[in-house]
Amino acid sequence: MTTLKDIAKELGLSPATVSRALNGFPEVGARTRATVEEAAERMGYRPNPLAKKLVSGRSGMIGLVLKPDGSSQADPTLHEIMFGLSDQLAQRDMDLVFHASSSDDLLEPYKRLLDKNILDGFILNAPEEDDPRIRFLQERDVPFVVHGRAAGHDYAYYDIDNRGLARDSVDLLLNLGHRRIALLNGQAGRSYAQDREAGYRDAMGRAGLTVPEFAVQYGPANEDHGYTKGLALLSGRFGPRPTAIFCVSTPVAAGLYRAAQDIGLSIPGDLSVIAHDDAVPQMRAVNFEPALTVTRSPLRDACKPLAAKMEALLKGAPADILQTLAPVDLIARNSTGPVPTEGETPW
């Protein structure tokens, strides 16, 4: 492994000068810095993050803690988040440190990682209302960017308009004549799921429709949830079956498609389906049969602003100017159609 001493010996400089050049100290001339950087690249030098942090105060390492949802299914969104963030952070001379935690204590992995004193900050995923991670990091003055939003938006975040996309989705179904519209939502407590339920209820309420308790089903945003809860709704286990269902994700919609097929319902003849689509390559909505109507916001598109906001935070930008609420596209395809005659009566 190439060291600072090896580069210093190669160039006839002191190790201290090489270290200052690589860490951007202003007293090092531009020509010397360029020479040192070229030699470091040619010799395959890779800085020790602990040593780098001691010298510059920054390691260039950003933490992402994720908790498995407990299902046996691979999460296709995890691949998009990890690779997208890794790529975007690398373009800004930072590296992603991924940590999987099964602890019930949300703060435990953050405390452990901070005790190691390696990370410069965190990107938080899927926040909850009154999220304890946000308070914890704010109290310790640790830089962080949230993918999503929770209560008290006095921090850097990138989010999509979850309430608006749900409202638009339900409005599309209402305009097709549907009145019995159900929601297969994400996990209870997650901010995005609460916002989508709020948007769903906005549209239903504006149409003068009541929502029975069983019409909103929470669970992991995976295919199993779509199949099991979809089967229960469509078989009449909870009450009169819906004629349309809004799904929190493409995998949930895939499970719902299977449930409809298993009990002999056609899409969109008997059931209209719409979903939020994160444009995951492994499960493209346009490849569903019939092609799935979606609100679209690719996860990879979120990674660039998340990385940019982290870079800006580390350079001293105030968190409250690093806040983005992005719009979402609605793409109508073949999975939504007019309400069947027998389904025109509300719940």
Take residue 30 and report the two structure tokens written for it.
């531009």
pLDDT score for 30: 87
CB 179 within 8 A of CB 342: no
Tell me the residue type at 82. M
Q: Tokens 């239903």 belong to which residue?
A: 204
Predicted pLDDT of residue 225 = 96
Fold of 162-298+330-343: Rossmann fold (3.40.50)
With a CB cutoff of 8 Å and minimum separation 6, the contacts of 205 are none
Q: Domain locations in the chain?
A: 4-46, 61-160+299-327, 162-298+330-343
Supply the CATH classification number for the domain 4-46.
Answer: 1.10.260.40
Q: Do 4-46 and 61-160+299-327 come out as alike in CATH topology?
A: no
Cα–Cα dist 336/272, whole Å: 4
Which of 196, 192, 195 minimizes the C-alpha distance to 182? Answer: 196
Residues 6+ apart with CB under 8 A from 341: none
- CATH 3.40.50.2300 holds for 61-160+299-327: yes
Measured distance CA(260)–CA(175) in Å, rounded: 22
pLDDT (0 to 100) of residue 78: 77
| pLDDT tens track, the chain, 347 positions | 788 788 889 899 988 788 778 777 777 888 898 999 899 989 988 776 555 555 556 788 999 998 776 554 556 677 788 889 999 999 998 999 999 888 889 899 999 999 988 999 999 998 998 899 999 999 999 999 999 998 777 899 999 999 999 999 999 999 999 999 999 999 999 999 999 999 999 999 999 999 999 999 999 999 999 999 999 999 999 999 999 999 999 999 999 999 999 999 999 999 999 999 866 677 889 899 999 999 998 788 899 999 999 999 999 999 999 999 999 999 999 999 999 977 678 88
Predicted pLDDT at 12 = 92
- Confidence at residue 164, expressed as pLDDT on a 0 to 100 scale: 97
Helix (H/G/I), strand (E/B), else coil: 146: strand
DSSP label at residue 242: P
Model pLDDT, residue 246: 99
